[in-house]
Amino acid sequence: VVLVTSGPTREALDPIRFLTNASSGRMGFALAQRARMLGARVIVVSGPTTLKPSAGVRVEFVTTGLEMFKRVMALRVKADVVIGAAAVSDWRFENRSPLKLKRGPGRLRLTMLPNPDIIKAVATGRPPGRRQIVVGFALETHEQLAHARKKLVAKGLDAIVVNGPAALTDKRSQAVILRRDGSTRALPETSKAALAAAIFREVETLW
């Protein structure tokens, strides 16, 4: 089983407003399609997206980071490979107003609480006696490799796919794959389908 997190998350402030990001969900769905082509059973836990998953891929839609966390923690026990391609909100609003917030004369102060790091929880809590490869993504604007290496170690991942902010919305992506053993593989700018294929080639060598 290949488990993929995908897309953005939404953190509600009131019934109308939410915090989200520009993630399209394309990378996650491309990974799912590739895993399917390789013959795996595939489950995608996806935030809101208008994309249509390819045939044979099971998609479970969630909205918030906490919902994604709960679904992934429930599904991860049966996964051989877990790939975190979702752009999860690092924070959620401490208080979600049940009523639409009204304009006031003064400033509005909002408090946010940290969301759990989903891929870190998966990588550091692997089921005992079961082989499981865990891969994350890192979106970095500068010092890409150094920052990504820190994330790879801090989250306990087997590999991390590094790319720039254009990757969030673009159809194409330029990436470097860093492995836990320190080796790196720089990929030319390619489609997300080709990047997904390259990621699974790495996963196979990690297995």
Q: Which two tokens stand for residue 24?
A: 């399209």
CB of 72 to ligand C5P, least distance (A): 8
Q: Which runs of consecutive H residues, i.e. helices, occur in the chain?
A: 26-37, 65-75, 118-124, 144-155, 192-206
Distance, in Å, from the CA atom of 47 to the CA atom of 132, rounded to the nearest integer, reads 23
Q: Which residues within the stretch 130-159 sit at the binding site for ligand C5P (CB under 6 A)?
A: 136-138, 151
Binding flag, residue 2, ligand C5P (CB under 6 A): no
Interface with ligand C5P (CB under 6 A), residue from 32, 45, 66, 119: 119
User: Of 24-32, 52-60, 111-119, 169-177, which part binds ligand C5P (CB under 6 A)?
Assistant: 111-119
Question: In this complex, which beta carbon is closest to ligand C5P, that of residue 88 or of residue 133?
Answer: 88
CA distance 54 to 49: 14
- Single-letter amino acid code for the residue at 151: K
Of the ranges 45-53, 80-88, 95-103, 163-171, which one interacts with ligand C5P (CB under 6 A)? Answer: 80-88
The angle at the Cα of 58, spanning 60 to 80, to the nearest 5 degrees, equals: 100
Q: What does DSSP say about strands 42-46 and 2-6: parallel, antiparallel, or unpaired?
A: parallel
- Residues that are catalytic: 21
Size of the site for ligand C5P (CB under 6 A): 14
- Interface ranges with ligand C5P (CB under 6 A): 5, 65, 84, 86, 88, 90, 115, 117-119, 136-138, 151
